[in-house]
């Protein structure tokens, strides 16, 4: 298939040369030429990313290192230790986890599918000098396409003719105001997408006027196709959660193998029973396997998945819809929130903010009379359609003017009935004015003119000085108006001027020369796409949480800087913190990497710039969240550690490329989601601290029993301890209430792990403590036997060690509710699920000793009251010692 040259600057080629380049004419291509080019270039459709089969997606879930560890554990339990029931349980956990992962995770190809669905169903094209309506997929380079208001642009088109044409390109450029188009040839140099006035791009919307152009790019060679290619090529970055679990799994595996080998070697060397070598080897191999199975936290991936799933449920209730489970935790580690401006930080709705009349500037909410000419002009010189249900259809700037009238109880429909439009001079991009003529009840005619202030002022001879007085327009008046115009423009307001006059009769010819002269100045209107009301507080909350907010937009620098200052992203007048896409192009990656920390606002950027910004921060080890709602945001959303799409205003493309979608398009919801993410990570840390300290206690107990020549705990006992005490308390720790200072902590960043923040050292000393206390109970049982006889004495001692090792973990679960805070300060029984989980685990352990028949199955003996009190005392001792250590730690940190 022949490739189109997508790098050519078609906006810089003259009309005749352009038609010659594409071997076409204004009459269009012939049918035979179209057929030939379809074979050469292919259909005008987007290529789809390579899709994985359901089976491939399923087996991809097993690439996680901890899952591999679990599969090895299942193999050891079944094939070597002959514990087939335990092997089946572990395999069930692994398979359920994989199925859940396939079901929950988003697929990258959804973004491409959404792009394909956006394509317009048909286009109006001229072929062999005949106008036809054809499927947009049948367009080829060189086709002559006609565009009208309401059309979706079907391909990338260089305009040959334009009449008052405006195209809304916010999904591609991020600019909220429709772009006025013309056919002027532009310089042969790199020009930002939003400034290419003679180009129309695929999937943008024609909001006003009409035009004719030649197709210069189809399918993957369009700007939208370029974005689709970037999405296809983008690699999914691993999340901090996935990195942490992989690292933890590898570390545990090596430690387990080393310790198992040591126990095997020590057991062979220390042979107190003088067993034959073949029996000794089998016994010690089983002992090493028992230790390996005990040391592997087989429930960890499932427990993490459950905690994340519970987090997604809580976040959904707070309007944050998670599409990928790891995204829940990733939010909690976010350092940078790079946000699109239009529709994310702002409302994506032009709004009147300032009104200048009678020499005074006032806010839009100030009272304005229906008799004021500025209000009459802005609503009369307007092509907005007011539908029966009150919805406004038309150019966003004009609909904002009508909405302003509605907000001030101006009965526009009634006024137009009394003073109907009888003629008009449409807007065009050269004179930048629009005029409408209305029949007054007294027989005279009212002319309403709105447009660019500099163009309107050239036609002004009088000014509305007060509601009742019209006087001659002076140079001082002009200076005051221009000064006010500049001041509003500096605040990134889009300024329109209003003028009018009353005439007796309609000229023979209605045009600009006969109508737009000797006008009366009525006032100025300042408009802007305003920031969301809650956005400024959200930015402040982000900064307080140690998160740096960035604004990345395709809008103009002045507008971006003004909005960023109003939101608190930068300080007013801080130009050094603002950079444009053109300036970014002048920097090498190395230079940008050095300066990236200087910039908080990026204006007039392209999709490539957004990806480059995200990558630059990621290379500095930062966890980056990127928000967006347009097609142009999709590649950066996919490249970021967490992409956040907008549920209401967002395109299906941006939502398909996102990890999380905001159901209410509320920037403040991101901060709520960050809080939930931090809570999830903190609770996962608690679960890991609980599981690993328990497993370390088991490993130490087995190691020392082997070293001392004591009877060791059997695989079935260890597996039951893990099954009974790991699952319920660990999951319940995942729903612990949010700690009060969690949003005052700095982001932990990419380099942190589940073992950071004192967790690693806590696991070590608490695991050793569990092992030492268990061994102590075993020794006490041997020193103070209840039953006579060596076998009975050792059976009691082993049973007490088994009960202690299990129950001490349940007591320890209360310790890990907080790393440093006392359990008595954090309301230890507040979490009902935790209380139920601990009680259920206690019953499961006690049943193996107390229920007749179970003790034989688990090779344990019955315990009397004194022995049970000894076991319970050991559990209480665990809490007391850990509380004392926390007390010392708190005082040390305070000092």
Model confidence pLDDT, tens digit, residues 530-566? 888 888 988 998 998 899 999 988 788 888 898 999 9
- Is residue 114 pLDDT above 50, yes or no? no
633 is catalytic: no
Written as six digits, the tokens of 822 are 């006392």
Overall residue count recorded for the chain in this entry: 895
Q: Is the pLDDT of residue 334 over 80?
A: yes
Assign 97 a pLDDT band (cuts: 50, 70, 90): low
Name the burial class of residue 723, with classes exposed (0-12), middle (13-18) and buried (19+) by CB atoms within 10 angstroms of its CB: middle
Could you tell me the pLDDT band of residue 107, with boundaries at 50, 70 and 90?
very low
CB 728 within 8 A of CB 829: no
- With cut-offs at 50, 70 and 90, classify the pLDDT of residue 497: very high
Q: Which is nearest to 352 in space by CA: 562, 525, 497?
A: 525
Contacts 24+ apart (CB under 8 A), 605-608: 605/174, 605/552, 605/553, 605/554, 605/580, 605/581, 606/192, 606/193, 606/554, 606/581, 606/632, 607/226, 607/227, 607/230, 607/632, 607/633, 607/634, 607/635, 607/636, 608/230, 608/635
- Over the chain, what is the mean pLDDT? 83
Indicate whether 571 pLDDT > 50.
Answer: yes
Q: Which candidate, 454, 470, 446, 467, places its Cα nearest to that of 520?
A: 470
Q: 252-256, 360-364, 535-539: which has the minimum mean pLDDT?
A: 252-256
So where are the chain's domains? Answer: 10-48+113-233, 241-317+680-737+752-894, 320-347+532-672, 351-528
Does position 111 have pLDDT exceeding 50, yes or no? Answer: no
- Between 266 and 785, residue with greater pLDDT: 785
pLDDT of residue 101: 54
pLDDT score, position 664: 78
Comparing 316-325, 564-573, 674-683, which segment has the lowest mean pLDDT? 316-325
Q: Categorize the per-residue pLDDT at 604 as very low, low, confident or very high, splitting at 50, 70 and 90.
A: confident
Answer yes or no: is pLDDT of 587 > 90: yes
Mean pLDDT of the region 520-536: 91
Per residue in 167-220, pLDDT tens?
Answer: 888 767 766 678 889 999 999 888 888 889 999 998 888 877 889 999 999 988
Q: Give dist(CA 728, CA 299) in Å, integer.
A: 10
pLDDT value at position 652? 65
Fold of 10-48+113-233: 2.70.150
What pLDDT sits at residue 363?
93
- 249-273: average pLDDT: 72
Q: What is the CATH number of domain 241-317+680-737+752-894?
A: 1.20.1110.10
Residue 820 confidence (pLDDT) above 60: yes
Query: Distance (Å, rounded) from C-alpha 24 to C-alpha 36?
Result: 13
Query: What is the model's pLDDT at position 813?
Result: 92
Distances (CA, A) of 330 to 29, 59, 240, 255, 333: 53, 24, 6, 27, 5
pLDDT value at residue 246? 67
Q: What are the DSSP calls for 178-234, one per residue? A: PEE---PPPPSS---GGG-TTEE-TT-EEEEEEEEEEEEE-GGGSHHHHHHHHHHHP
Domain at 320-347+532-672, CATH homologous superfamily: HAD superfamily/HAD-like (3.40.50.1000)
- Per-residue model confidence as pLDDT tens digits over 448-492: 999 999 999 999 999 999 999 999 999 999 999 999 999 998 888
- Has residue 402 got a pLDDT over 90? yes
Cα 812 from chain centroid? 37
- What local confidence, expressed as pLDDT, does residue 476 receive? 95
Residue 264 has pLDDT above 80, yes or no: no
- Report, at the CATH architecture level, how domain 351-528 is classified: 3-Layer(aba) Sandwich (3.40)
**What is the arithmetic mean of pLDDT over 278-306?**
66
Whether the pLDDT of residue 49 is over 60: the answer is no
pLDDT over 70 for what percent of the chain? 85
Give the model's pLDDT for residue 116: 44
Taking a C-beta distance cutoff of 8 angstroms, is the pair 527, 353 a contact?
Answer: yes
- Choose, from 340, 372, 529, 641, the residue flagged as catalytic: 340
What's the mean pLDDT in 785-811?
88
- Largest separation between any pair of C-alpha atoms in the chain: 126
Residue 680 makes CB contacts below 8 A (sequence gap 6+) with 307, 308, 311, 328, 329, 332, 734
Q: Given the DSSP bridges, would you call strands 445-451 and 433-439 parallel, antiparallel or unpaired?
A: antiparallel
CA–CA gap between residue 739 and residue 816 (Å, rounded): 13
- Residue 118 confidence class, pLDDT cut points 50, 70, 90: very low
Q: What is the pLDDT of residue 299?
A: 61
DSSP 410-423: --HHHHHHHS-EEE
And the tokens for 635? 């590649």
């Amino acid at each position: 298939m022949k490739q189109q040259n997508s790098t050519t600057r078609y906006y810089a080629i003259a009309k005749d040369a352009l038609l010659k380049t594409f071997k076409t004419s204004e009459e269009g291509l012939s049918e035979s030429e179209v057929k030939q080019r379809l074979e050469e270039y292919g259909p005008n459709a987007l290529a789809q990313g390579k899709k994985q089969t359901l089976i491939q997606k399923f087996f991809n879930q097993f690439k996680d290192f901890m899952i591999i560890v679990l599969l090895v554990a299942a193999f050891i339990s079944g094939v070597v230790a002959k514990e087939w029931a335990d092997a089946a349980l572990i395999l069930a956990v692994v398979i359920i986890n994989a199925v859940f992962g396939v079901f929950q995770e988003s697929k990258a190809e959804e973004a491409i599918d959404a792009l394909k669905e956006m394509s317009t169903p048909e286009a109006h094209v001229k072929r062999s000098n005949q106008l036809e309506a054809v499927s947009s997929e049948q367009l080829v380079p060189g086709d002559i396409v006609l565009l009208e208001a309401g059309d979706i642009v079907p391909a990338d088109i260089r305009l040959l003719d334009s009449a008052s044409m405006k195209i809304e390109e916010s999904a591609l450029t991020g600019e909220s105001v429709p772009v006025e188009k013309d056919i002027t040839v532009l310089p042969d140099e790199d020009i930002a997408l939003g400034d290419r006035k003679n180009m129309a791009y695929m999937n943008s919307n024609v909001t006003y006027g009409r035009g004719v152009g030649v197709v210069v790019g189809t399918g993957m060679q369009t700007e939208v196709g370029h974005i689709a290619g970037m999405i296809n090529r983008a690699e999914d970055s691993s999340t901090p959660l996935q990195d942490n679990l992989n690292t933890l799994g590898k570390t545990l595996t090596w430690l387990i193998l080393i310790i198992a080998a040591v126990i095997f070697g020590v057991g062979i060397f220390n042979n107190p029973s003088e067993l034959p070598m073949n029996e000794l080897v089998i016994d010690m191999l089983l002992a090493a396997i028992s230790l390996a199975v005990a040391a592997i936290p087989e429930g960890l991936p499932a427990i993490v998945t459950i905690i994340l799933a519970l987090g997604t449920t809580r976040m959904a209730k707070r309007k944050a819809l998670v599409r990928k489970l790891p995204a829940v935790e990733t939010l909690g580690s976010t350092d940078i929130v790079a946000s699109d401006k239009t529709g994310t930080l702002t409302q994506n709705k032009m709004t009147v903010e300032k009104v200048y009349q009678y020499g005074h500037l006032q806010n839009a909410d100030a009272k304005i009379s229906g008799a004021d000419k500025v209000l009459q002009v802005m609503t009369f010189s307007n092509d907005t359609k007011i539908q029966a249900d009150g919805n406004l259809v038309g150019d966003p700037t004009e609909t904002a003017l009508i909405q302003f009238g509605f907000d001030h109880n101006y009965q526009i429909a009634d006024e137009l009935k009394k003073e109907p439009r009888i003629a008009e001079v449409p807007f065009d991009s050269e004179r930048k004015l629009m005029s409408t003529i209305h029949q007054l009840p007294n027989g005279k005619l009212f002319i309403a003119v709105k447009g660019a202030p500099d163009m309107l002022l050239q036609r002004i001879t009088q000014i509305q000085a007060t509601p009742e007085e019209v006087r001659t327009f002076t140079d001082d008046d002009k200076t005051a108006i221009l000064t006010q115009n500049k001041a509003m423009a500096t605040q990134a307001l889009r300024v329109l001027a209003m003028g009018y006059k009353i005439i007796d009769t309609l000229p023979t010819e209605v045009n600009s020369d006969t109508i737009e002269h000797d006008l009366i100045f009525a006032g100025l209107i300042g408009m802007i796409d305003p920031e969301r009301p809650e956005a400024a507080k959200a930015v402040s909350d982000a900064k307080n949480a140690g998160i740096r907010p960035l604004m990345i937009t395709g809008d103009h620098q002045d507008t971006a800087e003004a909005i960023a200052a109003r939101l608190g992203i930068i300080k007013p007048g801080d130009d050094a913190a603002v950079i444009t896409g053109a300036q970014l192009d002048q920097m090498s990656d190395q230079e940008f990497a050095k300066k990236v920390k200087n910039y908080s606002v990026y204006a007039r950027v392209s999709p490539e710039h957004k990806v480059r910004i995200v990558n630059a921060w990621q290379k500095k080890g930062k966890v980056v969240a990127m928000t967006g709602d347009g097609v142009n945001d999709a590649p950066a959303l996919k490249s970021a550690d967490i992409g956040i799409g907008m549920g209401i205003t967002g395109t299906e493309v941006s939502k398909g490329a996102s990890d999380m979608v905001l159901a209410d398009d509320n920037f403040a919801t991101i901060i709520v989601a960050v809080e939930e993410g931090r809570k999830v990570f903190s609770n996962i840390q608690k679960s890991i601290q609980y599981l690993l300290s328990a497993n370390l206690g088991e490993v130490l107990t087995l190691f020392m029993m082997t070293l001392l020549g004591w009877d060791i705990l059997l695989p079935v006992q260890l597996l039951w301890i893990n099954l009974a005490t790991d699952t319920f308390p660990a999951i319940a720790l995942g729903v612990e209430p949010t700690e009060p200072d969690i949003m005052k902590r700095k982001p932990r960043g990419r380099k942190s792990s589940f073992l950071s923040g004192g967790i690693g050292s806590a696991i070590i000393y608490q695991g050793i403590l569990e092992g030492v206390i268990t061994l102590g109970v075993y020794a006490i049982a041997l020193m103070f036997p209840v039953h006579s006889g060596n076998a009975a004495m050792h059976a009691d001692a082993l049973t007490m060690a088994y009960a202690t090792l299990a129950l001490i973990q349940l007591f320890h679960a209360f310790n890990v509710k907080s790393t440093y805070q006392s359990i008595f300060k954090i309301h230890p029984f507040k979490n009902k699920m935790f209380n139920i989980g601990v009680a259920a685990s206690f019953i499961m352990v006690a049943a193996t000793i107390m229920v007749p028949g179970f003790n034989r199955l688990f090779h344990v003996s019955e315990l009397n009251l004194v022995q049970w009190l000894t076991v319970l005392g050991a559990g209480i001792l665990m809490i007391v010692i850990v509380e004392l250590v926390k007390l010392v730690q708190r005082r040390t940190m305070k000092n």
